[in-house]
Structures are given as C-alpha cells and as structure tokens.
Structure 1
Amino acid sequence: MKLPIYIVDAFTNTQFKGNSAAVVLLDTWLDDGVMQSIAIENNLSETAFISIKGHNAYDIRWFSPITEIDFCGHATLAASFVLFEYYQVTGEIQFSTDKVGDLFISRQPTGFIEMKFPNQEPEPVLDIPSELLAGLSKKPIEVLKNRQAYFAIFETEEDVTSLQYESEALKSLAPLDVVVTATGDKYDFVSRYFWPANGGDEDPVTGSIHSGLTPYWSKKLNKTELKAYQASFRGGELFCSIVGEQILVSGQAVVYLTGTIDI
C-alpha cells in the first residue's frame, strides 16, 4: 500500500520554524495500531490522517508519537494547507472530529489559513494541584483549566520564557497538559505548552490551546482581536479573534517534504 505523505511547518512562513506536522491522506481508515505506528515512525508532535467524506468534507484524526489526540490545531492547519496547495481545494473545508465537533477552515486572500474552533474558555482552579506547582520553577499568579490543560498565568513574558519545567511532575496531571502564559512585549500574549503525558516535553506551537487562551486574554485585555506568540525554541505566530461563540485562529504554513509511505 502506498500512501501520500506531506510534512508541513505550521504557524510560520519559514522552514524549520513553527510546528511540524505530517499529513497522510487515506481512502479509508487504517487500523488504529498502524496509524499509531506511522506517527511513532514520523516522530513529529502530530500526524494528521484525513479521509474524504464528500465535497470539501473530510474526517480528521490526530496522533502524537504517544497516543491519539482529541484536538490539534497546527496539524489541522497543515492538513488544510495540503488540500489547498496540492489538491486544488477551494472554498471552505469541513473537518469532522469525534471530540470537538466540526471544524471549518478557509484560506484568506492574504494566504493565511483561518480555522474556526469551539470556544474552550478555561475556568479558575481553587485547589491547585501540588504536582503543577512542583513541575514549574516559578509560582503562577493564577491557575485555570479547561478540558485540555491547566492554564498557569504569569505576570511577564520573561516569566514565561525563562521558566523551567519538570516533566515527570507534569506528567502526573494526565490527561491534562499545561500551558503557561503572560502578556507579551511585542504580542498581546505569549505562551509555552508542556504535554509530557500526551506527546512530548514541550510542543513548539499549539493551535488548539488558543481556543482557551483567546477568550481568557480577550477579557483581560478588552480586545476581540489578538496577536499571539508561542515562545518555544522554534516559535510560532498566531492571529486570534472571537466571533460570536467561535474562536478564529489563523496562521501560515510552508511545506518541508512530500513523499510516499510504503506499507
């Protein structure tokens, strides 16, 4: 069996920046174990598998090297980029998912890809887990959580960029991951994302968590349009806004590799 594969750097317009995702196009789903093995072999933060349902309609699933993931933004951007760039798809793409409903994606005249995500605003945590505090080198000023992660809020960008973390302590918070965030110097807000239980130590750029970061910072900053930066070693820019009950997350992408998997 030969399967087309693409590796795309998402949330950047420069190769080797942003977050890399593999995209594999299927006629029908493979066995879950085979898809997990492909993700392990790719050894990227995510591999997106997409299967066509109809005109501009696809099912999508995401696998890290460790497990299947409920929701991944950068691999959704990468998959959309592949469809727009290599399969001449025009108009709005609909991705169906098991856990977060339907995602609607469009390519803007600027070339940016805009993704409509559900609003996953976090709620305050009164009883902060000791493992969270033990896993971060600095104490946050506030902690919240949503279905995906704990949100550790800090005062300054320097607090976020200089932060050290302890993976084993954060791993014990599974199934939740951890995002650390603060207002930025050049951006409205910055963040870093740790997910040792589900994918790896630090994710380069995490589109999905911005469905929670955006409503949080929108209220704090009294803005509905925000420019964000994920301050990982690769770094990535995200443009976020709120329209009604939806969170819009936009970014750029650039291809790194096109090829074929032989199974």
Structure 2
Amino acid sequence: MQQIDFYMVDAFTDTTFGGNAAAVCPLTEWLPDATLLAMARQHNQSETAFFVTTDEGFELRWFTTQGEVNLCGHATLASAHVIFEYLNYPETAIQFSTRFVGPLTVTRNGDWLTLDFPATSSEPVTPPQLLLDSLGISEYQEVRLGRTYTVVLSTQQQVEAIKPDFQLMLGLNQKVCITAPANDEGYDFVSRFFSPASSITEDPVTGSTHTMLIPYWAQKLGKTQMLARQVSQRGGDLRCQLVGDRVHIAGQAATYLVGKVLLRG
C-alpha cells in the first residue's frame, strides 16, 4: 500500500469555505496518468494538483475529473501554500516547471502569495446567439474570445444577477467568463466563470481567466495594478498587476484538510 500526503486548500481567501478549493498531493515520483486521473475523480474537486520535487524546484501538473489541463491558477496557489506551510521550504519564491505553459513562479509576501503567469490576449468577436441565450441576456458592452468567451457587462449588479442555462451553454463547447467594472469600494473589476463542459458549472475563483482579464481591464482602466473580486457564491479576492507580457495574481490561502491517500493494488 502506498501512502500519499493529501491537502485540501481554499485558495484566494483567508477563511474556510471561501475562495476555490483544490486538492494537492505531493509525490516522490510521477504515477501513471491513469492513476492521477483516478485520484482526481475520487477527490471530486474542480482541480487536483500534483507536484514532484526536482533539483531545480518542482514539477507541477493539474487534473480535473475529466483530464489534465494546461493551466490552473487556484491549484497553483494551493500547491505553493502547501510547500511554504508544510514542507519547510526556506525560500520566498517557488519555481514550478509545467508541461504546457513553461516555468511559473510563486512568491510569498506575508500572507499573500503571488503567481507570475503569462498574460493571454483576447479579440472582439460577434457573439453566437447561443452564448447570449445561455446567459439570458440581449444587451452587453463587448464580447471577446481568448482562453474563453468573455462577455463584458455594464455593472457589477448585472454580473451578479446572471443565472445561466448550463444545458444551453454545453452546446458552445467553450468556457464563459462575464465581467464588469466593480461597484464595491476598493475593487476595480468583478467576474464570474462558467465551464459546464468540464463538469464545473460555476468556478468559485479562477486564476487562469485573470491572465486574460488583467490585460483587458488594464487597458480599459488605464492602470496596471488592480484589485479584482470574483463574485461567485464563495467569492474571492485577487490582487492583479500587468507587467509587460506577464500578469501577477496574488491571493491568500487557508488549509481545510490534511490527510493521507492510501493506494492499494
């Protein structure tokens, strides 16, 4: 029987039951992909992060219940939290190597962890009617396509009021983000994120989507440092900065569960 350390961490929050939960499993060596996927399905979280320690830092991979994904912000933040808090890591910066997006760095400053991710672009598009129907809207400021469809609305209240038809959204075969300027004092913009095709109807806090939102709002607002709020039911705060062709996304994290995975057979 093989025993593997297991952590469940709420990312982009400093309270239990806030932010976005991720499972994190440190490994001594890579297990077969089928085993990693089976573990992710057993954990039944939006993401399970696995990492292996190397001479240069850590190799990091992310799995949903459907398969491996190319980037996940909240599970990267959760992994860094585990390394800093439980593995006696002495430095203030962690270097992750990844299969799809190259090296990623996470730095610690007090209780805040900052992800250094590549910025991603988006372009204005004419939205398919199915997208508008799935969101139940006819009016919008702009629709863009990059990592996801991004629908820009006028107000935070409109973002909060959306009740998607996820069966319709499945027909898009694309993830959907909605965003607007923030009304709450101290925040710059808000968002929500939907991915029913990945068995995630609404993701509570989505770091990877902010690789696209940060360049967009930096241009719109004329500023490179912003505070964002994902206004899901759980909610989460993200300190955002555009730095050339990179984005810095900072958040806090709170451990919910520490245990062991017991692999038999």
C-alpha displacement of 1:123: 1.3
The residue identity in structure 2 corresponding to 1:184 is A
- Please name the residue that 2:120 is paired with: 120
Q: Residue 77 of structure 1 contacts residue 253 of structure 1 at CA under 8 Å; is this kept in 2?
A: yes
Question: Aligned-pair RMSD on alpha carbons?
Answer: 1.1
**Which residues in structure 2 correspond to 1:77-226 (within 5 Å)?**
77-89=77-89, 90-108=91-109, 110-125=110-125, 127-139=126-138, 140-146=140-146, 148-174=147-173, 176-186=174-184, 187-226=187-226
Aligned equivalents of 1:61 and 1:169: distance in 2? 31
Displacement over 3 Å in runs of 4+:
none
C-alpha displacement of 1:169: 2.1
- Please name the residue that 1:241 is paired with: 241
Q: Residue 69 of structure 1 contacts residue 198 of structure 1 at CA under 8 Å; is this kept in 2?
A: no
SS of residue paired to 1:121: coil
C-alpha displacement of 1:68: 1.6
SS of residue paired to 1:54: coil
The residue identity in structure 1 corresponding to 2:34 is G
SS of residue paired to 1:20: strand
CA deviation map 1:194-232 (0-9, x unaligned): 001124100000011111100100111111100000011
Which sits farther off after the overlay, 127-136 or 249-258?
A: 127-136
SS of residue paired to 2:65: coil
SS of residue paired to 1:197: helix
Instruction: Structure 1: give runs of 5+ residues left out of the alignment.
Output: none
CA deviation map 1:167-212 (0-9, x unaligned): 12222222x3110000011210000000011241000000111111
- Please name the residue that 1:227 is paired with: 227
The residue identity in structure 2 corresponding to 1:75 is A
CA deviation map 1:28-60 (0-9, x unaligned): 2212121111111111111001111224x1111
Instruction: Structure 2: give runs of 5+ residues left out of the alignment.
Output: none
SS of residue paired to 1:29: coil
C-alpha displacement of 1:87: 0.8
Aligned residue pair count: 258
Q: Residue 66 of structure 1 contacts residue 198 of structure 1 at CA under 8 Å; is this kept in 2?
A: yes
**Which residues in structure 2 correspond to 1:27-46 (within 5 Å)?**
27-46=28-47
The residue identity in structure 1 corresponding to 2:6 is I
The residue identity in structure 2 corresponding to 1:12 is T
C-alpha displacement of 1:86: 0.5
C-alpha displacement of 1:66: 2.2
The residue identity in structure 1 corresponding to 2:10 is D
Aligned equivalents of 2:131 and 2:101: distance in 1? 26
SS of residue paired to 1:104: strand
Aligned equivalents of 1:67 and 1:201: distance in 2? 16
